[in-house]
Structure formats: structure tokens, C-alpha cells
Amino acid sequence: MPGMVVLGRRWRIASDDLVFPGAFELFIRAVWWIVTLVLYTNHKGRFDCQGGAYLHNYLVVLLVLLAVIILTLCAIVYISAQGTIMNPGPRRSMPALVYLRALLYFPEFIWACLGAVWVSDNSTGCKPAEVGAVIGAVVSSWIILLSMVVGVLVVFDPLGSQRPGVLPDAPLGMRDLESSESSQLFYTAHTVASRVWESRLRLLCCCLPQDDNHRAAFSSIAQLVSGFFLDTDLVPSDIAAGLALLHQEQDKMEHCRDPDEVLSHSPSSPIREDLEVELEKAAHFMQFAAAAYGWPLYVYSNPLTGFCKLSGDCCRSRQAEYDLVGGDTLGCHFTSILQSTGLQYRDFIHISFHNQIYEIPFYVALDHKREAVLVAVRGTLSLKDVLTDLSAECENLSVEGVSGTCYAHKGICQAAHYIYKKLVNDGILSQAFNIAPEYKLVITGHSLGAGAASLLAVLLRSTHPTLDSGSFTYSQCWEGYFGIVLLSIPNMEDLKRRLLKMVSNCSKPKYKILMHGCWYELFGGTPDDFPTELENRREEVLSQPLLGEESLLVQRSNTYQSLSSDDSPSHPTHLPLYPPGRILHITEDGPARRHCFSQVRYRAEWSNETSFRNVLISPRMIADHMPDVVLHALRSLTREQPFALCPSSMSNSHLNVI
């Protein structure tokens, strides 16, 4: 629902978000009141210390103040739990209760000060229990007051005053602005939001050099982030509730879906390659893609022995022995690559760990086992890489021999061009093929490196025809393999639309959605049977902002206007991007949740880009995206290294299926 309007501005919190914080404070206040009441009852008339009368009055007023606060919190929790995200009618009194609760902080502040004065000046001769109780009350008051200040800072929306509303008593026909006025208002709000997000990015990345590339990236990312939810009435808790609903809905659909037919060959290839052969190639080249991450991933994957294996060579310089170029701590990175790949020093042509925005590390080596000149591109590992990932606008990509305009992810496209210039202009590839002219070229990478490797293969295809079957990329960023889809703007727009529809259609209070969602993610169970249809409500309701509020910014929002249809919005603002090449999709086979000693079984099949048009919600999205997990899955499928979730005593270790 829209953020609550308090003190003349919107906040990043809704009226149904106060159930959990209110219940927690209510519990603290109730315990506090009971302890104070027991102390007062047991010592009534027997406060014989120097400030006994003062203490008696202090406790009486404290009991009354706590009782009023407890009653107010009970009302806040009860009212906040009423209605649904779509129906805030039962919560109309929430702003008044918030004002009342805010006013009660002033006498509490005064009483906390008086309690501190009594402890310091008038507690001589009093019993330790009495002094301890007052000290506890004072400390608790200050902690709660400080928590309130922190909470206000967290839910403060710097754009709250930039979202103008309309007069509530104005006729509906008079509330609509002309299209030009509405567009101008939306443009102004978007501009202000972009400035706020750009300032946040500059503050977050204050340690980075403020050159032209970084300034352009900050501006581009701020434009995308600020505009994503600007035309909606959502607060963060609404997004969390929508994601929980979407995950359960996807699980229900998955349980009802008929098993897909497993293809033994790639549907887009004229040659019926054997799936096992392709998996072996993928597993082999994935180790080079994982090695490109250097020592951080090596230590993460080998927590007990990683430091010991790397410590001997970390400080040793290799530039004098081999013509290698690197960034900081090349010794550790180089040693980890040697340990991960099994190659020799002489097999490396070029290593670069230079890292800036749009400029990502890579290395070139000779893979004698597969007779390949190998280019491995590193994935996301630094803040600069994150900025490259988030530069997600479309950019023109010139491809030799292809008519028409091609588009690609801006950050990935820039990174691919950077590596292309290094390989071609600096003669790195020429040097490699002078050493091994009969070898073929293979490009590999994971995540951000996968996207850059794919575009790099497109750029080099005209001069290296064998690249048609020599590029292996894993878990790409715009749309991904291995069960994760990320960072395609049209996909994120589709996710926003589906999230809005789930939130709008749900007829249960938000706190129940969040409680069941947390339980479901942690312990599993049956997906909640929330309604996904409009029931008896009119579909026209979904063309209006949530709660029926006539927000000027969203009346003409394509997001809301498209909710009543299952089709995508008729006027997409971003071009769709698709994963390149043939897609080998690997998923876990069997139940979604298993006990610690159960064994992971994987399933591999050929797929196509239509299977990756929607973002899938999963609590393991980040974990499944990790390069070591992908490598373990591939090795398990090729039976090179059977992989179990936890140590198992089961003897049948080859339960993997293809």
C-alpha cells in the first residue's frame, strides 16, 4: 500500500507495517510494567531512603505512563492487523494513533531524565532492588527512544514531500490532470529521485575515483533505479510480501506441471551432439572460469587448506620470468589459478587483474588437454563490477556480417569491448596462436564474465570461426543458466507487474503473508492457498493505484494499467535481451527441501531462451549462482566428482541423472 502520510509527507512505511514492531514493543512494555508494579506493591509505604517520597511518586507516574503507552500500542497493533494490503479502510485511524504514540515520547523522555537525576542525587540509603529498578527503567527508556530515532531515519523517504496528492474532497472528475501536466509532474519527480539515488551512489562509492566513467555510470544507474518503482505505491514490506507470494505461487505451479521431456541433443544445432560430451566440456572449462576469480574464491572453496597452499608463493613476483601483466597481489591470484587449473607457468600468455568500471580482469592461457587458446573472464567480485552489472541499459552492438541493429547490456558490452581491444590491439591472441597455431579459441566466464565472454565471442567470430562451438559461459547476468535469472530490465519490469498483481489480489493481511512466507522459506510445508484471481472485485480496480488513492504519479502508470491483463504491457520501455547460444539447463532433481544427509541429484537438459523470460524467486538464488556450486553440479553430472549436500554414509554415490 502507499506509504503512510504523517506530518504532511509520505514515509517508507505503511499502516499495516506496525504489527511486528508494535507487538515487540508491547511485550517489552508489558514486562516492564509488571516488574514496576511488583516493586511498587512490595515496597509501598516502606520507601525509607533519602528520596523515598520522590521515588514513590516516580513509580506511580511511571505505572500510569506505561499503562497509557501499553493501551496505545494495543490499539496500534490491532488496527494495523486489520484489512489487507489492497483494503486499508479498517486502518484509517492509524495516523491519529501514530500521533498519540509520538506525543507519549515527550513525557517518557522527561521521566527518564528525572529517573537519572534521582539515581545520581537521591538514591542514598535505598535498597539495591529499588535503585536497580529505576536504573533499568531509565536505561530501557533511553534504548527505546534511541530505537525510535533510528527507526525514523530508516523509514524516512527523502522523496516523500515530492509526491503531491490531490484534495480528498475534490470530485473524481476534477482530480485528473491533463496528460501534459501529469507527464511533467512525473518527469519532475523522476528527476528528483534520480538526483537522490545518484547522491547515494556517490556516498556509497566515495572510495572510487570520480572520473567520467564513474559519473556516467552513477547517472545511468540512478535513472534506472529511481524509475523502477516510482510509478507504484509500494513500500519495502509490500515488495517482501509480493516476493513471498510469488515464490509460493511458482512452487504450486511447478508441483502441478507435467515433467518436461528431456532432449538428448540441442534443438538449435544441426548436429545431434551427445549431451554427456557437452557436459564434460562444460565441466572442464568451468574450472577455468572459476579460477578467474583468483584467491578469494579459492580460499572460500578451500577454507581449511587454501591459505596454506597459497602462502608460499603469494609474495613471489612472476613478471620477471614471464611476460604477464597484473593488478594488485598478482602473486596470490596467479598461485590460486595454478592450483585451480593444474596448468604450468609457461602455459599462461597474459594475466590481467586490472579492475575498473567497464574493465574487468581476464587471463589467456594454453589448454593443452583440449588443444585450445583459452580466454577466461572474471565475474563480479568488486564494487566496480557491481556498477558494471547495474549499467543495464541497452547499447548498440556492431557485429560484422550481421545486418540490422543489435543490442546488448551496456555494462557487459563495454567490458567485452575493453577485453577485445586488449586481445587484438595488444597482440595477445597473435602471440598465443604463434605459439600454438593449430589450437582453437575458447572463451569462458561466469556471471558478469559470462556475459562479457558471450559478446566477446560475437566480436571475434569473424576472425575465429571455431568459436561457434568454442564459447562456454555460465550463469549469465542478463538471463541465466542453472536456475537463476537476473538483471534483464524487461524481466524486472515483468517481475514488478506480477508482484503488483499478487499483492493486489491477496485477501489476507500483510503480517500473515510475511509470517507464513518466513515459515515456508525456513521449514517448507504447503504453499499458502492465497487467491490469485480477482474473485468478486471489479477488474477496473486494478487500473487504479493500490487502495484507490488518486496519486497523480500513478494514474497514468503503464504498470497499473496492465494489471487487469495477463499480457505484457503494450508499451515496453526497454528492449528484451536474450541469452546467446545454446542453453544447457541444470536443475536439482527431487524435492525442493531435503534433510542434511540426503544427496543432491542433478538433471541436465537442453533448453531455449523462452524458458528464461521470467524471474524465478528462490531463497537460494545467490547460493545457486556461486561459481563453486555450478562447478560442483557439472562435475557431479559428469561423475568426475560426486557431490553431496552434506556428508553421507550412503554407498550409492552415483545417483545423478541426466
Q: What's the confidence (pLDDT) of residue 507?
A: 82
- Specify the DSSP element, H or E, that contains 146: helix 128-155
Helix (H, G, I), strand (E, B) or coil at 349: strand
Does residue 570 fall inside a structural domain? Answer: no
307/453 same-domain check: yes
Cell of 568: 505484457
- Specify the DSSP element, H or E, that contains 364: strand 362-367
Q: pLDDT per residue over 335-360, tens digit each?
A: 888 888 989 888 999 998 888 889 99
Domain boundary (155, 177, 205) is at 155
Does residue 352 fall inside a structural domain? Answer: yes
What confidence category does residue 552 fall into, taking pLDDT thresholds of 50, 70 and 90?
very low
User: Would you say the pTM of this structure is higher than 0.75?
Assistant: no
The residue that leads in pLDDT, 233 or 182, is: 233
Domain boundary (429, 449, 478) is at 478
Q: What's the confidence (pLDDT) of residue 234?
A: 78
Phi and psi at 585, nearest 5°, equal -100, 125
Does residue 593 fall inside a structural domain? Answer: no
Query: Looking at this protein, which amino acid is placed at residue 577?
Result: L
Stretch 352-381: mean pLDDT: 91
The residue that leads in pLDDT, 134 or 309, is: 134
Which range among 192-196, 391-395, 476-480 shows the weakest confidence by mean pLDDT? 476-480
Which range among 83-87, 110-114, 611-615 shows the weakest confidence by mean pLDDT? 611-615
The interaxial angle of helices 275-291 and 330-341, nearest 10 deg, is 160
Q: What's the confidence (pLDDT) of residue 367?
A: 93
148/293 same-domain check: no
- % of the chain with per-residue pLDDT over 90: 20
Does residue 39 fall inside a structural domain? Answer: yes
Stretch 636-642: mean pLDDT: 65
**Tally of domains in the chain:** 2
Q: What's the confidence (pLDDT) of residue 592?
A: 56
Which 8-state DSSP code applies to residue 293?
A: T
Q: What's the confidence (pLDDT) of residue 264?
A: 43
Which range among 350-359, 424-433, 501-510 shows the weakest confidence by mean pLDDT? 501-510
3-state per-residue secondary structure call for 168-205: CCCCHHHHCCCHHHHHHHHHHHHHHHHHHHHHHHHHHC
Question: CA-to-CA distance for 656 and 642, rounded, in angstroms?
Answer: 8
Does residue 642 fall inside a structural domain? Answer: no
Question: CA-to-CA distance for 528 and 245, rounded, in angstroms?
Answer: 8
Query: Looking at this protein, which amino acid is placed at residue 317?
Result: S
Which range among 78-82, 392-396, 477-481, 600-604 shows the weakest confidence by mean pLDDT? 477-481
* 407: β partners: 396
Cell of 231: 510509478
Strands 372-377 and 362-367: antiparallel
Stretch 222-232: mean pLDDT: 71
Cell of 252: 504450486
The residue that leads in pLDDT, 570 or 604, is: 604
The residue that leads in pLDDT, 324 or 381, is: 381
Does residue 437 fall inside a structural domain? Answer: yes
Query: Looking at this protein, which amino acid is placed at residue 640?
Result: E
Q: What is the DSSP string of 366-411?
A: EETTTTEEEEEE--S-SHHHHHHHH--SEEEE--TT--S-EEEEHH
Q: What's the confidence (pLDDT) of residue 18?
A: 93
What confidence category does residue 23 fall into, taking pLDDT thresholds of 50, 70 and 90?
very high
Q: What's the confidence (pLDDT) of residue 167?
A: 37
Q: What's the confidence (pLDDT) of residue 244?
A: 86
Question: CA-to-CA distance for 507 and 485, rounded, in angstroms?
Answer: 29
- Most confident residue range from 256-270, 450-464, 556-570: 450-464
Question: CA-to-CA distance for 630 and 638, rounded, in angstroms?
Answer: 12
Q: pLDDT per residue over 32-73, tens digit each?
A: 999 889 888 887 766 667 667 777 888 889 999 999 999 999
Which range among 44-53, 155-164, 439-448, 542-551 shows the weakest confidence by mean pLDDT? 542-551
Domain boundary (127, 155, 183) is at 155
Question: CA-to-CA distance for 76 and 97, rounded, in angstroms?
Answer: 6
Q: Examine the pLDDT at 523 and tell me if it is beyond 80.
A: no
Average pLDDT, the chain: 75
Q: What's the confidence (pLDDT) of residue 483?
A: 31
Distances in Å between the Cα of 252 and the Cα atoms of 215, 500, 532, 618, 619 are: 44, 19, 12, 13, 16
Phi and psi at 49, nearest 5°, equal -80, 180
Q: pLDDT per residue over 65-107, tens digit each?
A: 999 999 999 999 999 999 888 788 888 899 999 999 999 999 9
What confidence category does residue 328 fall into, taking pLDDT thresholds of 50, 70 and 90?
very low
317/466 same-domain check: yes
Which range among 131-140, 266-275, 309-318, 487-496 shows the weakest confidence by mean pLDDT? 266-275
The residue that leads in pLDDT, 480 or 2, is: 2
What confidence category does residue 10 fall into, taking pLDDT thresholds of 50, 70 and 90?
confident
Q: What's the confidence (pLDDT) of residue 442?
A: 92
Stretch 369-392: mean pLDDT: 89
Does residue 385 fall inside a structural domain? Answer: yes
Question: CA-to-CA distance for 520 and 528, rounded, in angstroms?
Answer: 9
Question: CA-to-CA distance for 103 and 607, rounded, in angstroms?
Answer: 60
- Most confident residue range from 96-105, 535-544, 571-580, 610-619: 96-105
Which range among 199-213, 365-379, 536-550 shows the weakest confidence by mean pLDDT? 536-550
What confidence category does residue 245 fall into, taking pLDDT thresholds of 50, 70 and 90?
confident
Determine the structural domain holding residue 88 and report its residue range.
5-155
**Dihedral angle over CA of 425, 428, 434, 438, nearest 10:** -110
3-state per-residue secondary structure call for 401-463: CCCCCEEEEHHHHHHHHHHHHHHHHCCHHHHHHHHCCCCEEEEEEECHHHHHHHHHHHHHCCC
What confidence category does residue 583 fall into, taking pLDDT thresholds of 50, 70 and 90?
confident
- Cα–Cα–Cα angle for 493, 495, 499, rounded to 5 degrees: 120
Does residue 580 fall inside a structural domain? Answer: no
